[in-house]
Chain A
Amino acid sequence: GAGVSQSPSNKVTEKGKDVELRCDPISGHTALYWYRQRLGQGLEFLIYFQGNSAPDKSGLPSDRFSAERTGESVSTLTIQRTQQEDSAVYLCASSLVAPPLHFGNGTRLTVT
């Protein structure tokens, strides 16, 4: 079956603009995660959705970051007023309930 799909694969934006990143999880996976991977660094947890429960937003670095998920389907991660330090690969992952996670190929965001 299809894996986790993320779009776009690459995004270049100007500082101050808003961007929206999309994630299509594996069908039937109730859990969805967003991580950020800065160059040369490990993965930083951003946000976690599980079914209709309240999301765990503890990893969002600032109020410029937000994410939504409708039910058990698509999720969008929005970054408002982008800054250069937001440049990173944004990874989405899904799982049935708990780890192991299945990752998408990521969206490489470059803020100029």
Chain B
Amino acid sequence: GDSVTQMEGPVTLSEEAFLTINCTYTATGYPSLFWYVQYPGEGLQLLLKATKADDKGSNKGFEATYRKETTSFHLEKGSVQVSDSAVYFCALSTDDYKLSFGAGTTVTVRA
């Protein structure tokens, strides 16, 4: 079945550091790929998405590129802020409604 594997955390880094969270997937067909973020005390919210190979999703300085050849959708940000501290979830959808999520990666950014 469909599955998502993402980098285990927790990840702790300093402000202005470069962040990468790896995400790879296994899916039948051609999935849509998503990154969701959960800030402390809040619900999950969509961060960015990509629906076909080579698409790049971007939002709030974060980027992820849909790589079909490596079945990956790694999340990157060039210079993190304390406000980026959150739990990040990679997810995919192949049937236009059900999302399969990774286990989540907790990121803590220190001032």
Nearest Cβ in chain A — how far from B74, in angstroms? 17
Residue B101 at the A interface, CB < 8 A?
yes
- Chain B residues near A93: list those with CB within 8 A: 44
Residue A76 at the B interface, CB < 8 A?
no
Contacts A100-B49, A101-B46, A106-B43; A56 near B104 (Cβ below 8 A): no
- Chain A residues near B104: list those with CB within 8 A: 42
Residue-wise, chain B 25-45 has the 8 Å CB interface mask toward A (1 for contact) of: 000000010101000011111
Work out how many contacts link A and B, with CB atoms closer than 8 A.
56
- Chain B residues near A45: list those with CB within 8 A: 98-100
Residue A1 at the B interface, CB < 8 A?
no
Interface size on B, residues (CB 8 A): 22
A42 adjacent to B34 (CB under 8 Å) = no
Interface of B is mostly: strand
Interface size on A, residues (CB 8 A): 25
From B45, which residue of chain A is reached at the shortest CB distance? A103
**Known contacts A42-B4, A97-B96, A99-B97; can you find 11 more A-B pairs with CB under 8 A?**
A31-B97, A56-B97, A98-B93, A99-B32, A99-B49, A101-B99, A103-B43, A104-B43, A105-B41, A105-B42, A105-B43
B interface residue numbers (CB < 8 A to A): 4, 32, 34, 36, 41-46, 49, 89, 93, 96-104
Q: List 27 A-B contacts (CB under 8 A).
A: A3-B43, A4-B43, A33-B98, A33-B99, A42-B89, A42-B101, A42-B102, A42-B103, A43-B89, A45-B100, A48-B97, A50-B97, A97-B96, A98-B97, A99-B32, A99-B34, A101-B46, A101-B99, A102-B45, A102-B46, A103-B36, A103-B43, A103-B44, A103-B45, A104-B43, A105-B42, A106-B43
